[in-house]
Structure 1
Amino acid sequence: MMYGYARVSTKEQNLDRQLEQLREYIKDERYILRDKESGKDFNRTNWNTLVGTEKTAPLLHEGDLLIVCSLDRLGRNYTEIRKQWDYITNTLQANIKVLDMPLLDTSISKDNLDGRFIADLVLQILSYTAEKERENTRKRQAQGIAVMPVVNGKKVSSKTGNPIGRPNAEYPERWSEIYSDWKSGSITATAAMEVLGLKRTTFYKLVKSYEA
Structure 2
Amino acid sequence: MTVYGYARVSTPRQNVTPQVKALRAAGIPKDRIFQDKSTGRAVNRPGLNGLLSVVQPDDIVMCWKVDRLGRTFLECAQVAAGLLERKVIIRALTGGADSSTPEGRFMLHALLAVAELETELRAERQAAGLEDAREKRRKAGRQGIGGGRRPTLTSRQREHARQMKAEGRSITEIQRLFNVSRGVAQRAAQGRETVLDDLDFKKPEDRERLRRANAMMAAIEARQIDIEEAIKAA
Q: TM-score range by the shorter chain?
A: 0.5 to 0.7
TM-score normalised per structure 2: 0.54
Alignment check: 8 A CA contact 2:63 2:92 kept: yes
Q: Contact between 1:39 and 1:77, CA under 8 Å: does it hold in 2?
A: no
Distance 2:13 2:6 in 1: 18
For residue 61 of structure 2, give the secondary structure of its aligned residue in structure 1.
strand
| Equivalent-residue separation in structure 2 for 1:96 and 1:125 (angstroms) | 17
The aligned residue for residue 32 of structure 1 is: 33
CA 72–121 in structure 1, closer or farther in 2 if over 3 Å, else same = closer
In 2, Cα distance between equivalents of 1:125 and 1:9: 18
Aligned AA (1:135): E
Q: Percentage identity across aligned positions? A: 25
Instruction: For residue 41 of structure 1, report the CA deviation from its aligned partner.
Output: 4.8
CA displacement at 1:85 relative to structure 2:
1.7
Match of 1:86 among 73, 77, 81: 81
How far does residue 156 in structure 1 lie from its aligned partner after superposition?
A: 8.0
Number of the residue aligned with 1:73: 68
Partner of 1:121: 110
CA change 1:141–1:74 in 2 (3 A) is: same
- What SS class does the counterpart of residue 56 from structure 2 fall into? coil
TM-score by length of 1: 0.58
> What secondary structure, in the 3-state scheme, does the structure 1 residue paired with 2:150 have?
coil
List aligned pairs for 1:48-63, cutoff 5 A: 48-51=49-52, 58-63=53-58
Pairwise CA distance, 1:43: 1.9
**Structure 1: gaps of 5 or more residues:** 52-57, 174-205, 207-212
Q: CA RMSD in A?
A: 3.9
Q: Which amino acid aligns with 1:34?
A: Q
Which secondary structure does the structure 2 equivalent of 1:5 belong to?
Answer: strand
C-alpha separation between the residues in 2 aligned to 1:2 and 1:70? 16
Look up the SS of the partner of 1:153 in the other structure. Answer: coil
Letter in 2 for 1:28: P
Residue from 129, 136, 154 that aligns with 2:144: 154
- 2:95 counterpart letter in structure 1: M
Tell me the distance in 2 between the aligned counterparts of 1:31 and 1:136: 38
Secondary structure of 2:54 counterpart: coil
In 2, are the aligned partners of 1:42 and 1:75 still within 8 Å (CA)?
no
Contact 1:39 1:73 in 2 (8 A): no
- Assess, with a 3 A threshold, how the Cα gap between structure 1 residues 63 and 152 changes in structure 2: closer, same or farther: same
Task: Output the CA distance in 2 between the equivalents of 1:115 and 1:22.
Answer: 19
Q: How many residues were matched structurally?
A: 162
Q: In the superposition, relative to structure 1, how do residues 105 and 133 fare at CA in structure 2: closer, same or farther (>3 Å)?
A: same
More helix by share: 2
Conserved? CA contact 1:8–1:37, under 8 Å = yes
Counterparts of 1:71 and 1:8, CA distance in 2: 13
Q: Distance in 1 between matches of 2:12 and 2:143?
A: 40
Aligned partner of 2:130: which letter? Answer: Q
Aligned-partner residue type, residue 31 of structure 2: R
Question: Matches of 1:27 and 1:140 in 2, distance apart?
Answer: 42
Q: Output aligned runs, 1:162-173, within 5 Å.
A: 162-163=149-150
Structure 1 residue 133 and structure 2 residue 122: aligned?
A: yes
Task: Specify the code of the residue in structure 1 equivalent to 2:72.
Answer: N
Amino acid at match of 1:8: V
Query: How far did residue 2 of structure 1 move?
Result: 0.7
Radius of gyration: which is bigger? 2
Of residues 79, 89, 96 in structure 1, which corresponds to 2:90? 96
